[in-house]
Structures are given as C-alpha cells and as structure tokens.
Amino acid sequence: MQMQPARNAAGEGVVEDAARREFRDGMARLAAAVNIVTTDGPAGRAGFTASAVCSVSDSPPSLLVCLNRSASVYRTFKANQVLCVNTLAHGQEDLALLFGGRTPMEERFAAASWSSLETGAPALAGALATFDCRITEIVESGTHDVMFCEVLAVGLGESLPGLIYFARRFHGVAIPG
C-alpha cells in the first residue's frame, strides 16, 4: 500500500484535504432543508443560506445553526444575538443562491419582502416556516460556530412543496397525499 505524504511540496496538508473532500462527498448525500437565516439589530442587517440547521428540543423550543466564522455575515450575527430561520419552499431557489454568498447584502434583501416577528430579525414573506430566535449559546467547533437558539415565535406560511439540497442541487419535495 502506498502511503500518502502528510504534506505536499507547498506544505499543504494533502491528507487533510482528502479527508475534507471525502467528508463533503458524504455530506452531499445527506439531504437537508434549505433556509435563509437573517439577523437585524445594532450591528445591522444580514442574511445567509444555511443547510446546517437542526431542531434541538421542544422544551424550551430550540434549534441550532452552524455558521462559518469566515463568512462576511459572521460578525453581524455574533453582535446582534438574534436571528430568524426562514425555511424555503420549492420555487425559492433563486433566493437561496442570492443569499449563498458573494452578493452585496442590500441586493440580497431587495429580492424579497420581509416583515418581523418578535426579535426584529427579518422574516421572509412566502417562507414555509419562520423561527424567530434569540441566540443563547455559541460553541466554536472547527471552522464553524454552532449557534444554539431559543425560539421565541414561529410563523407558519402556506402549506407548499418544500425545498431540499441533495447531491449539490436543489430539489422540490411534494406535499404527501
């Protein structure tokens, strides 16, 4: 068996790169809902697309969101301490791409209509569900911060087909029945 060198000529960790690639290939098979996570407050308004969102507990109602510390929106979320998880419906793929990076913040928000629930974080008109939250704890893990959140208010939109991210693409999910 040929051993792979731990570092290439440029000093980069090739073993680590292979592990990351393998991890991502595996994660590409783990289907996930698509959300736009927003915030507003003293540090300003920001939002990003997130598939790393998960239910934690129903008492108290709580969820978690994983945010890369290198994202342009990171400092704004950390400073505001509130966020709203907006779960997207089939047909909102363009919004998911817009909030998926590299687009100026005003352009991202100009593409949709927003209101607010309790915290002042933007709630997306036409979302399947909106979870208005206060960030209660932040745990650093690898490249990401895990933001644990208490859900203060839930908005339920129309019952529409859902949107998932699977195999590096968006897919619609039909309502059963």
Ligand X SMILES: Cc1cc2nc3c(=O)[nH]c(=O)nc-3n(C[C@H](O)[C@H](O)[C@H](O)COP(=O)(O)O)c2cc1C
Interface residues toward ligand X, by CB under 6 A: 34, 48-52, 66-68, 71-73, 96, 99-102, 165
For residues 67 and 47, give the distance between their C-alpha atoms in angstroms, rounded to a whole number.
Answer: 11
Per CB under 6 A, the list member of 66, 160, 164, 173 interacting with ligand NAI is 66
For residues 5 and 43, give the distance between their C-alpha atoms in angstroms, rounded to a whole number.
Answer: 45
Q: Does 27 sit near ligand NAI (CB under 6 A)?
A: yes
For residues 159 and 9, give the distance between their C-alpha atoms in angstroms, rounded to a whole number.
Answer: 55
Q: Which does 168 bind (CB under 5 to 8 A by kind): ligand X, ligand NAI, none?
A: ligand NAI
**Complex with ligand NAI: residue 49 or 81, whichever CB lies closer:** 49
Q: Does 154 sit near ligand NAI (CB under 6 A)?
A: no
State the DSSP string of 120-160: --EEETT-SEEEEEEEEEEEEETTEEEEEEEEEEEEE----
**Complex with ligand NAI: residue 44 or 101, whichever CB lies closer:** 101
* Cβ 27 to ligand NAI shortest distance, Å: 3
* Cβ 163 to ligand NAI shortest distance, Å: 14
For residues 71 and 145, give the distance between their C-alpha atoms in angstroms, rounded to a whole number.
Answer: 11
Sequence-ordered list of residues with C-beta below 8 angstroms from that of 102, at least 6 positions apart, any chain = none
**Site residues (vs ligand NAI, CB under 6 A):** 24, 27-28, 51-52, 66, 68, 143, 168
